[in-house]
């Protein structure tokens, strides 16, 4: 019983309790196995808080200096992997304060927590860590978009079938396909930048729920920690996990985009298509069939999107029924956030590697183009002669039907056969059977002509530079 009482006393909340925790409950309650990665942020927040308490007279200059120096030693131990975790270290906050007391003495270390709660402390740590991680993701996402742009610039002459309903529709530039996904990724980059701004607000100084009674300067602490602003309601500040949920929403949205991109490339890399080939570094073989080269990197990207969606949905269900301010349920926001950040970050790096090493086969892409994909060109040809589009569409449909009935591609129909369908199909109608011409005619903003593709590249480059 005495040992149980000692454990309880060593907890930050231990004075209230006369018995120790059930060992299973102690493990169930502990978050140090995963929140230990916040040690840098926790120490930075503690130093800022101690400085503020020096400035308002709670700590002397000598006491602050001892705390700052002691926390520096604690940080070194974590960095050098020499920090000794004790049985009563239930979280990173408890562990750091316990070790600080061992280094500088409990009398001074015990003043560190004056006016502070683990409720605002954990929210501060999470926001600081997440801000830094999201900035890293912002950088690697920018790099990924740059790889997309580089491929689009370098391979602008390559044509590929464009698909709707997974059916061949109209010819487009390979660069246009690349940029279709790059545009989606750039939109996610813009959203990420907005998320970072909302993450980067300080809850420190809000206490357990009601605020700080020692007139602490929250703005000074926020500035020291690099926050861009404050959370202005203490109840909301300690109970809010919207910044986590919004991050998981963003990550899920991005993973949805990367999953669709991966799906396209999985299809394009199949033997039936043969448009692209993945580098060996991003492929695996079969344990049974030696001829196979599997696009495992892309399949994992597609599969891990489900993991990301699940983390978002799980936290949503955790939060939805909670009463106001802090509840222990919110501890369940930490693990999925950590895993989510790693999943998204790794996925961007893998996608960048896949795209930067991808081999394309322009001749196979061009061979996959079929004259039927130019049927709309006949309708557009007639429109330029004053024929209403609906009528032109009907006539071009008859051209397709004739080719099918004759069992030949559209480009094998004779000029006489075409004129037999409609006399307005003149000698120059054969120009409609030129893939390059068809692509270049799509020159309006957002189209697949060279000029339109280059315009898209300019816009994407501006997006990268706009932060």
Can you tell me the distance from the alpha carbon of 1 to that of 6, in angstroms, rounded to the nearest whole number? 9
Same domain, 256 and 130: yes
Can you tell me the distance from the alpha carbon of 256 to that of 331, in angstroms, rounded to the nearest whole number? 26
Same domain, 394 and 428: yes
Query: Is position 23 within any domain?
Result: no
Query: Is position 400 within any domain?
Result: yes
C-alpha pair distances (Å), 218 with each of 49, 58, 214? 9, 15, 11
Whether 286 is catalytic is yes
Angle between helices 92-104 and 118-154 in degrees, nearest 10 = 120
Same domain, 181 and 279: yes
Final residue of a structural domain among 319, 337, 367: 367
Are 220 and 52 in contact, with CB atoms under 8 Å apart? yes
Query: Is position 21 within any domain?
Result: no
Can you tell me the distance from the alpha carbon of 363 to that of 158, in angstroms, rounded to the nearest whole number? 9
The backbone torsions φ and ψ at residue 285, rounded to the nearest 5 degrees and listed phi first, read: -105, 180
* pLDDT at residue number 289: 56
Final residue of a structural domain among 50, 80, 109: 109
Same domain, 180 and 229: yes
Residue 275 makes CB contacts below 8 A (sequence gap 6+) with: 160, 268, 269, 360, 361, 364, 365, 368
Can you tell me the distance from the alpha carbon of 374 to that of 170, in angstroms, rounded to the nearest whole number? 7
Of the residues 286, 414, 451, 466, which is catalytic? 286
Query: Is position 131 within any domain?
Result: yes
Are 117 and 102 in contact, with CB atoms under 8 Å apart? no
* pLDDT at residue number 3: 41
Average pLDDT per block of 10 residues along the chain, 467 residues long = 45 55 78 94 98 97 98 98 93 96 97 96 98 98 98 98 96 98 98 98 97 97 98 97 97 98 97 95 67 85 97 96 94 96 98 97 97 93 93 92 92 91 92 96 97 98 90
Of residues 107, 122, 62, 68, the one with CA closest to residue 328: 122
* pLDDT at residue number 466: 84
Can you tell me the distance from the alpha carbon of 434 to that of 138, in angstroms, rounded to the nearest whole number? 42
- Specify the CATH number for the domain of residue 81: 1.10.275.10
Whether 165 is catalytic is yes
| Burial class of residue 312 in the structure, from the number of CB atoms within 10 Å of its CB (0-12 exposed, 13-18 middle, 19+ buried) | buried
Final residue of a structural domain among 342, 367, 392: 367
Are 107 and 154 in contact, with CB atoms under 8 Å apart? no
Can you tell me the distance from the alpha carbon of 14 to that of 425, in angstroms, rounded to the nearest whole number? 90
* pLDDT at residue number 286: 57
pLDDT digits (tens, 9 = 90+) for 402-430: 999 999 998 899 999 999 999 899 999 99
Of the residues 3, 165, 287, 405, which is catalytic? 165
Nearest 5°: CA angle at 267, between 144 and 264? 35
Can you tell me the distance from the alpha carbon of 289 to that of 235, in angstroms, rounded to the nearest whole number? 61
Residue 199 token pair: 């993450």
Specify the DSSP class assigned to residue 329.
Answer: G
Query: Is position 14 within any domain?
Result: no
Residue 288 makes CB contacts below 8 A (sequence gap 6+) with: none
Query: Is position 13 within any domain?
Result: no
From start to end of 271-429, where are the E strands? Answer: 276-277, 284-285, 293-294, 359-360
Can you tell me the distance from the alpha carbon of 393 to that of 409, in angstroms, rounded to the nearest whole number? 18
Q: Could you write out the three-class secondary structure of 354-410?
A: HHHHCEECHHHHHHCCCHHHHHHHHHHHHHCCCCCHHHHHHHHHHHHHHHHHHCCCH
Same domain, 284 and 333: yes
Same domain, 41 and 140: no
- Specify the CATH number for the domain of residue 318: 1.20.200.10
Query: Is position 238 within any domain?
Result: yes
Same domain, 195 and 56: no
- Specify the CATH number for the domain of residue 394: 1.10.40.30
Same domain, 88 and 127: no
Same domain, 104 and 58: yes
Calculate the CA 214 to chain-centre distance.
40
Same domain, 182 and 210: yes
* pLDDT at residue number 18: 53
Query: Is position 452 within any domain?
Result: no
Same domain, 329 and 302: yes
In terms of pTM, does the model score above 0.75?
yes
Same domain, 83 and 200: no
Nearest 5°: CA angle at 27, between 92 and 336? 65
| Structural domain boundaries enclosing 416 | 371-433
Domain count, the chain: 3
Residue 408 makes CB contacts below 8 A (sequence gap 6+) with: none
């Amino acid at each position: 019983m005495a040992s149980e009482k000692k454990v309880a006393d060593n907890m930050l909340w231990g004075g209230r309790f006369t018995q120790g925790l059930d060992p299973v409950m102690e493990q169930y309650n502990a978050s140090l196995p995963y929140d230990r990665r916040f040690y840098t942020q926790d120490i930075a927040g503690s130093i800022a808080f101690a400085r503020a308490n020096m400035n308002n007279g709670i700590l002397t200059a000598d006491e602050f200096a001892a705390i700052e120096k002691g926390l520096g030693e604690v940080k070194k131990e974590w960095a050098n992997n020499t920090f000794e975790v004790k049985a009563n270290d239930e979280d990173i906050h408890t562990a750091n304060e316990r070790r600080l007391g061992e280094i500088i003495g409990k009398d001074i270390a015990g003043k560190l927590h004056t006016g502070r709660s683990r409720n605002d402390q954990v929210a501060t740590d999470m926001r600081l860590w997440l801000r830094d991680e999201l900035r890293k993701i912002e950088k690697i996402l920018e790099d990924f978009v740059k790889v997309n742009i580089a491929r689009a610039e370098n391979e602008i002459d390559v044509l590929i079938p464009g698909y709707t309903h997974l059916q061949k529709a109209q010819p487009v530039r390979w660069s246009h396909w690349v940029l279709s996904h790059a545009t989606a990724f750039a939109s996610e980059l813009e959203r990420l930048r907005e998320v970072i701004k909302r993450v980067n607000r300080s809850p420190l100084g809000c206490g357990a729920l009601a605020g700080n009674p020692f007139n602490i300067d929250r703005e000074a602490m926020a500035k020291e920690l690099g926050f861009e602003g404050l959370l202005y309601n203490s109840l909301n500040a300690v109970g809010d996990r919207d910044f986590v949920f919004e991050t998981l929403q963003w990550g899920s949205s991005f993973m949805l985009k990367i999953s669709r991109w991966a799906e396209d490339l999985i299809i394009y890399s199949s033997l039936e298509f043969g448009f692209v080939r993945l580098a060996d570094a991003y492929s695996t073989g079969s344990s049974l069939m030696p001829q196979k080269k599997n696009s495992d990197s892309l399949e994992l990207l597609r599969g891990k999107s489900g993991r990301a969606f699940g983390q978002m949905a799980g936290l949503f269900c955790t939060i939805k029924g909670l009463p106001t301010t802090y509840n222990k349920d919110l501890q369940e926001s930490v693990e999925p956030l950590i895993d989510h950040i790693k999943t998204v970050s790794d996925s961007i790096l893998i996608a960048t590697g896949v795209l930067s090493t991808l081999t394309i086969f322009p001749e196979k892409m061009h061979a996959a183009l079929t004259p039927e994909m130019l049927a709309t060109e006949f309708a557009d040809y007639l429109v330029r002669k004053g024929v209403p589009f609906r009528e032109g569409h009907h006539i071009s449909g008859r051209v397709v039907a004739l080719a099918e009935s004759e069992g030949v591609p559209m480009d094998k129909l004779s000029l006489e056969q075409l004129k037999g369908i409609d006399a307005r199909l003149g000698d120059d109608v054969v120009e409609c059977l030129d893939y390059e011409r068809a692509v270049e005619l799509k020159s309006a903003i957002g189209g697949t002509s060279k000029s339109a593709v280059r315009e898209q590249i300019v816009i994407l480059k501006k997006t990268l530079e706009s932060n």
